[in-house]
Amino acid sequence: MFNKSSTLYSILFLKCPRCHQGEFLEANPYILSNFNKVKERCPKCELKYSLEPSFYYGSMYVSYGVGIAVAVAVYVLTLLFMLDLQVSHLFILIVAVLVILMPYIAAVSKSIWANFFFKYDPELAKKVE
């Protein structure tokens, strides 16, 4: 379905931005004891995931944008399915979806942020396969 060399694959499946093979997070985003803890290095290509302390603070801005996109998508889906919801019910629905998706949104935001700074290397990806 997704080409493993695409940036979208790396972001959605939380893979290393450089080799698209190693795991990006310590654990699943929904395991709250390790809530979106980024690994220190890629287990496949040894890329150091953090350029400096507090590197992922910038992902908060990305998270805001992703959250807005999810909220708009929920609203548009209610329109497409012709659900005639009151404003208060629509608000509750959007908040519920955002709360349920919050761990994944935060993880994807960190992955997007990392992909701004680290580029895919197809030659390296072939070597670590």
pLDDT for the residue numbered 2: 75
Q: Based on the structure, what is the number of domains in the chain? A: 1
In a domain, 90, yes or no: yes
Answering whether pTM is above 0.85, one says yes
pLDDT for the residue numbered 83: 86
Question: Residues 47, 18: contact at Cβ < 8 Å?
Answer: yes
In a domain, 54, yes or no: yes
**Exposed/middle/buried for residue 26 (C-beta within 10 Å: 0-12, 13-18, 19+):** middle
Read off φ and ψ for residue 50, nearest 5 degrees: -115, 120
| Structural domain boundaries enclosing 24 | 7-128
In a domain, 1, yes or no: no
The DSSP code for 48 is B
In a domain, 116, yes or no: yes
In a domain, 88, yes or no: yes
In a domain, 59, yes or no: yes
pLDDT by residue (tens digit) across 28-48? 999 988 888 999 999 999 999
Question: Residues 43, 32: contact at Cβ < 8 Å?
Answer: no
Counting residues of the chain whose pLDDT is more than 70, the rounded percentage is 99
Alpha-helical runs (H) found in the chain: 7-12, 59-80, 87-117, 122-128
Phi-psi region of 14 (alpha: psi -120 to 50; beta: other; left: phi over 0): left
